A and B are shown apart, each in its own frame.
Chain A
């Protein structure tokens, strides 16, 4: 049982390049989330999904797209990377309607855009 995994762990992009971050969970959770963490800002929600084929915007969605084609995977895409997207990205998942409503986090992806 690997929990929540993220690929890659580190990445350096040039401005304007595109990439996709992959989040996978093997806990059969319905809900999945993408956060970004910047120094002094805590974690902020980018996009989330309440089930396969559905996604919704969070607090800071601009410049990102997501897809959830399979229940266990949640992809975060950057179509044209900008230096402002330099951050650490976390994926999380949670089961539907189950106490203690804990979100299980992946190990994070450090992305640098030059």
Chain B
């Protein structure tokens, strides 16, 4: 079974600075998808960024980018120019095949990010 590990339960960053959240995963599959979700205090799960394993180019979405190292099974999230609104729990997730053409997400335990003004 696939596992997703986020080794940093909590992180903090100064406003306008850059922070990197780490994520590693274990899989025997060669083609898969990885995601980062943000959960602010409102509890709503918001997709931040996604990465296809067969693409060597790292995904970017405005201030958010990933460092995808397939051989090392590492998928870290970099947030540039951090803003107060970035304060949230961040979850790394791996898309797993669950049968009958359906896929499910396996989540890491999350990293709580605080942004210091």
Contact = CB atoms under 8 A, between A and B. Distances in A.
Interface in A1-56: 31, 33, 40-45, 48, 50, 54, 56
Chief secondary structure at chain A's binding surface = strand
A105 B44 contact: yes
Contacts of B35: 102
Interface residues of B, number: 25
B38 to A, nearest CB: 11
A58 interface: yes
A42 B91 contact: yes
Interface stretch (A61-69, A76-84, A93-101): A93-101
Contacts of B50: 100-102
A31 B45 contact: no
A44 B107 contact: yes
Contact of A54 (B47, B100, B106): B100
Interface of A: 31, 33, 40-45, 48, 50, 54, 56, 58, 88, 90, 92, 94, 96-97, 100-103, 105, 107-108
B103 A58 contact: no
Nearest to B109: A42
A58 B104 contact: yes
A18 B100 CA distance: 31
Which of B44, B47, B95, B98 is the most central at the interface, judged by chain A CB atoms within 10 Å of its CB? B98
B101 A102 contact: no
Interface in B23-39: 33, 35
